Structure 1
Amino acid sequence: MNCKNCSNNLRAKQKFCDECGAKIIQNRLKPKVLAQQVNEHYFSIDNKLLLTFLDLFRKPEVVIVGYINGTRKKYIDVLQYFALSLTLTGIQVFLMSTFFKESTDISSQFINGFNDASTTTDNPFKDFDVNALNNYQGLIYILTVPFSAVGSWLAYYIIGERTYNFTEHLVINLYYSAQIIIITALLTILFLVFGLDYLIISSIVYILTFVYLFYILKRIFKTNFWNTLGRFSLVMAIYIGSFLIIGLITMLIVVIIAVALHK
């Protein structure tokens, strides 16, 4: 018998391929077999999902640096973990736009203040719809990861800490972002069930994302509090600056196109 993943020759009753490490599937796919696989990967007490989630809090450097250095079996792959977080975001958005639509109607007090800020027709907040923006959360998360990766990579490159290349910084930020997205989605759903204000939830979670990034950088690069704070500040400055630059370039392109079309 050959391995169905890499075609390596296998011994009788071999459970794992000694070439690619894949599990050898002996039985045909049936509901019972499928249920066992789902339980093994997602619901059992020692599954990879739970272990990855917990260890990204307890010892994130083991998960992230281990993956960078080649440890790929103990924890969920970084891209799979990020994809899972986006799936959870989709569930969150669905619940917010259906069962909790009234609770997340942010066009009340806070947004109305912007909407009424000017009586002129050119008020930029006049037609701003935060609820519609929530529908694009998944896309926003995907687009922000490269910016955060550029921020951390360039910041550490500037100070001479070049242990990890850009792709490895991308892995760091993918794991970080996935963990934040999962926590945000879970807390949002949980708090909305109990009727708490969505703006308050968002503000609290937003602050915690920065605290967690600080924690990640401190554990991975093994620096003290003040050194980490300096590096964290530089990362955030580059991150925000890159967003502003891209935003200005995008606005400039839109203006040029609009002017060209009206000529």
Structure 2
Amino acid sequence: MEAKTTTCPNCEKETFGNFCHHCGQKQGINRLTWGSVFGELQKRWFGFDNNFLRTVKDLTIKPHKVVEASIEGVRVRYIGPVGYYFLMLTIYVLIISFLDIDMNQFYESMNQSFNPEVSAEQQALQKDWNNFVNNNFRIVAFLMMPFFILGIWIVFKNKGYNFLETAVLNFYGQGHPMLVSIVMMVVYKFTNDGASLLTMTAITYLYLLVVITLFYKGNKLWNFIKGIFGILLGFILLMLFVFAAVYLIGWIFPELLSKYVPQ
């Protein structure tokens, strides 16, 4: 049976099938509806199509399946792990900017809540560190990731996943909880409660532990316990790197750190 020919609405040449063989224009265009307009906006302007909503939904109800799909090569269904992580970071930064939240004040209120008595040198160090993090937030967040990936990879090395496959778990596992962080920043805007950062951190690593527990095969309780050790090992590796970097900077450029040393 011969395929039905149509006239392309774009190049006005005879063609058949779902797409024009001359210019690639999609054939069989339906009438405009609100649904078709919204779908086109999603696809062409926001570039998400249905992947963004599907990624958010599945990372909420079955995160281990998203990790498995990405590792197994089924990457069309979801936004990639690194892309999703940076997307969440970008939305987080935009919300902070939109709400006009002073992050320096946010960190100061948090520090005062948990450590009200600090020396002038410690206050200067905290202020400069907060400024550095605020000005380079996405870079700092990204550079912290390898340490947690390494910690979890070492603890779960016997499971047979390589470093990059473990990275998939971490980028999804730390990217998705930023949705909660966004909500907590809105709460902070109206309450000025510095404990919001502690809540965000706790939820982030609790969610990561859930993903670890569900993803790796074997006893789930043991996976959860090993996940705690993996995250702690990541923190230790990160702190060792920071201390080594500060020591090296202080040795090469002692004048840079002199104002933080008690007189």
Normalization by structure 1: what TM-score? 0.72
Cα gap change, 1:167 to 1:34, in 2 (>3 Å): farther
Partner of residue 170 from structure 2, selected from 167, 173, 177: 173
Q: Rg: which structure is higher?
A: 2
Point out where structure 2 has 5 or more consecutive residues left out of the alignment. 1-14, 28-33, 257-263
Cα gap change, 1:102 to 1:134, in 2 (>3 Å): closer
Distance 1:234 1:103 in 2: 31
CA contact (8 A) 1:56 1:63 kept: yes
Mean Cα deviation higher: 126-135 or 202-211 = 126-135
Partner of residue 52 from structure 2, selected from 44, 49, 53: 49
3-state SS of paired residue (2:176): helix
Distance 2:66 2:109 in 1: 42
Partner of residue 13 from structure 1, selected from 17, 35, 49: 17
- Residues 148-199 of structure 1 show CA distances to partners (whole Å, capped at 9, x for unaligned) of 1111111112xx222x110111111111122122331x21343245x12342
Distance 1:128 1:13 in 2: 64
* Matched AA of 2:159: E
Partner of residue 207 from structure 2, selected from 208, 212, 236: 212
> What residue number does 1:161 align with?
159
Cα gap change, 1:35 to 1:154, in 2 (>3 Å): same
Shift of residue 83 of structure 1?
2.4
- Residues 118-171 of structure 1 show CA distances to partners (whole Å, capped at 9, x for unaligned) of 3xx6x22235327634343322221121111111111112xx222x11011111
Point out where structure 1 has 5 or more consecutive residues left out of the alignment. 1-10, 16-23
> What residue number does 2:144 align with?
144
Shift of residue 41 of structure 1?
7.8
> What residue number does 1:111 align with?
112
3-state SS of paired residue (1:125): helix
* Matched AA of 1:241: I
Normalization by structure 2: what TM-score? 0.72
Cα gap change, 1:141 to 1:182, in 2 (>3 Å): farther
CA contact (8 A) 2:103 2:134 kept: no
Cα gap change, 1:161 to 1:40, in 2 (>3 Å): same
Shift of residue 65 of structure 1?
0.7
CA contact (8 A) 1:115 1:127 kept: no
* Matched AA of 1:117: V
* Matched AA of 1:236: I
Identity of aligned residues (%): 19
> What residue number does 1:8 align with?
none
Shift of residue 242 of structure 1?
0.7
Shift of residue 26 of structure 1?
4.0
Cα RMSD of the aligned pairs, angstroms, is 3.5
- Residues 87-141 of structure 1 show CA distances to partners (whole Å, capped at 9, x for unaligned) of 1122133135x2x4499555358439857533xx6x2223532763434332222
Cα gap change, 1:233 to 1:114, in 2 (>3 Å): closer
CA contact (8 A) 1:42 1:48 kept: no
Distance 1:38 1:177 in 2: 28
Cα gap change, 1:115 to 1:71, in 2 (>3 Å): same
Cα gap change, 1:112 to 1:241, in 2 (>3 Å): closer
Cα gap change, 1:217 to 1:42, in 2 (>3 Å): farther
* Matched AA of 1:222: K
